[in-house]
A and B are shown apart, each in its own frame.
Chain A
Amino acid sequence: MGDNIAALIGALPLVGEGVLVTIQLTIGGALLALVISIGLGLLARFTNVVLRGTARVIIEFFRGTSLVVQLFWFFYVMPQLGIELPAMFVGILALGLNYGAYGAEVVRGSINSVPSGQWEATTALSLSRSQRMWRIIFPQAWALMIPSLTNLLIQLLKGTAIVSFITLTDLTYATDKLRNSSDTFFAYGVSLIIYFLIAYVLTLVMNALEVQAKHKLGRGESLKEALSFRTPRSADGKAGIS
């Protein structure tokens, strides 16, 4: 065990760099995926057949063709078409497009499950098209979609482990190097625990976002209240017991 710890300390700079690359890919991929999810999710709701059809084709294409194929396609085929992209960019692009396509279905589904009375109310108030979506419908759909988006985010984090196929030195790559100087069980044990911790932190952040989104809609307590140690409020809104 002492040897293993020594090996880990020796490999610490590489492991640190690997963790950083993994986190960069996760955050970059997640941001791109979020933009694509919302864009395609909204587009897929249009009544115009061309717009809706385009969104559906893109969604089904990226959902249906496997993340590894997309990653390799961007990495090996793009240069042949004369487009040279840095590996990090390729990683973020593939992750963002793949999970964005899955996310688009989540966004579309959540918007559809906002009660129709809310739509009718926006019409009654004669709000503009964009006001309806961004001020009334989307905030409610957002609270609904967060749990599914959390699952996708964890999937995306796990998906980053394949970028060592395209020369990126992520945590999985660092693990393989650590294995050379310590035993397999130790190296992969450490690596799995680090992945688990990153996933756990991401889940906590997303849970906090969900609390906040619900609070904004007037459902449930605020994030500050949820994190404080004060006596929980009773159901009728009065603080304390009795």
Chain B
Amino acid sequence: MTGLQWDWTMVWESLPDLLIKFVEVTLLVTILGSIIAAVLGLIIAVARRSAPRPIAAVLTFVVNFIRMTPIVVQLLFAYYLFLDLDPVTIGVIIFGIHYATYMAEVYRAGIEAVPDGQWEATTALSMSRGRTWTAVVIPQALRSTIPALGNYVISMFKDTPFLIAITVTEMVRAALVFGGNHFTYIEAITTAGVIFLIASYPTSLLIGRLEKRLAFSN
């Protein structure tokens, strides 16, 4: 039993490996996945509002289906369907699609918060529908959505260890491998958890502050 005591040398030994994986996989997937989710989410939100009713209904069902089923199963599904694709790429795409369904709800609320008068004004000015969205509605809707989107980014960040299911060596898997090689899991797994905490907690504090500021100035 080497693991009964906390051994700092194990922390320092595992740290470089964990940090490399943190940057190479965890951060990379979070950033790319967030970009896909933010863009796709906006497309879904606008489509649900402006598409013909049957198409919007189908879209709503698909979005709910994705939201209500586990991301791990979705990752595995895509992994086995596209075996020749790189697992990290699959991770980015699935995280992007999964979180797009959440972000679409955030955008929806933001779009609904834009006063009706704004729509009426664009009609009075005989603006095209496309210009109404891009020049009037979306800029106003986006402002109030930023904090909520940020929370989903943090949530995605904490979900990245699910990539273990599709054989990606991200930070937590690296910690498990280290633990297996050194016959002690305490330090490496705890260090991985602390890295998550150090990265996510200040970010969520910042988002909370942003939320208050945007709420007050509205």
A residues contacting B by CB (< 8 A) are 60-61, 63-70, 72-73, 76-77, 80-82, 154, 157-162, 165, 172, 175-176, 179, 184-185, 188, 191-192, 195-196, 199-200, 203
Contacts and interface: CB of A to CB of B under 8 A. Distances in A.
A68 B73 contact: no
Most buried by A among B81, B161, B175, B179: B161
Nearest to B64: A196
Interface of B: 1, 3-4, 65, 67-74, 76-77, 80-81, 158-162, 164-165, 172, 175-176, 179, 184-186, 189-190, 192-194, 196-197, 200-201, 204
B185 A76 contact: yes
A81 B186 CA distance: 9
A111 B71 CA distance: 32
B124 to A, nearest CB: 35
A72 B176 contact: yes
B3 A80 contact: yes
Given A66-B172, A162-B162, A196-B68, A172 B197 contact: no
Contacts of A63: 204
B189 A77 contact: yes
B190 A188 contact: no
15 contacts: A64-B196, A64-B201, A65-B158, A66-B159, A72-B189, A77-B3, A77-B185, A77-B186, A77-B190, A80-B1, A80-B4, A172-B73, A175-B73, A195-B68, A199-B69
A81 B189 CA distance: 14
A67 B156 CA distance: 12
Contacts of B189: 69, 72-73, 76-77
Question: Chain A binding site: helix, strand, loop or mixed by DSSP?
Answer: helix
Contacts, number: 115
Nearest to A159: B70
B70 to A, nearest CB: 4
A172 B164 contact: no
A71 B193 CA distance: 11
B161 to A, nearest CB: 4
Most buried by B among A63, A68, A72, A161: A68
A157 B69 CA distance: 8
Given A66-B196, A72-B175, A192-B77, 14 more contacts: A65-B158, A68-B162, A69-B161, A69-B192, A77-B3, A154-B68, A162-B72, A165-B165, A172-B72, A172-B73, A184-B81, A188-B80, A192-B73, A203-B68
Contacts of B190: 73, 77
B3 to A, nearest CB: 4
4 A-B pairs with the lowest CB-CB distances in the bound complex, closest first: A68-B161, A161-B70, A80-B3, A188-B77
A65 B196 contact: yes
Given A66-B158, A76-B176, A165-B164, A81 B4 contact: yes
B166 to A, nearest CB: 12
A66 B193 contact: yes
Contact of B76 (A64, A176, A199, A200): A176
A196 B69 contact: yes
Contacts of B67: 154
Contacts of A191: 73
Contact of B81 (A68, A157, A161, A185): A185
Given A64-B197, A69-B161, A76 B80 contact: no
A81 B4 CA distance: 6
Contact of A179 (B4, B80, B162): B80
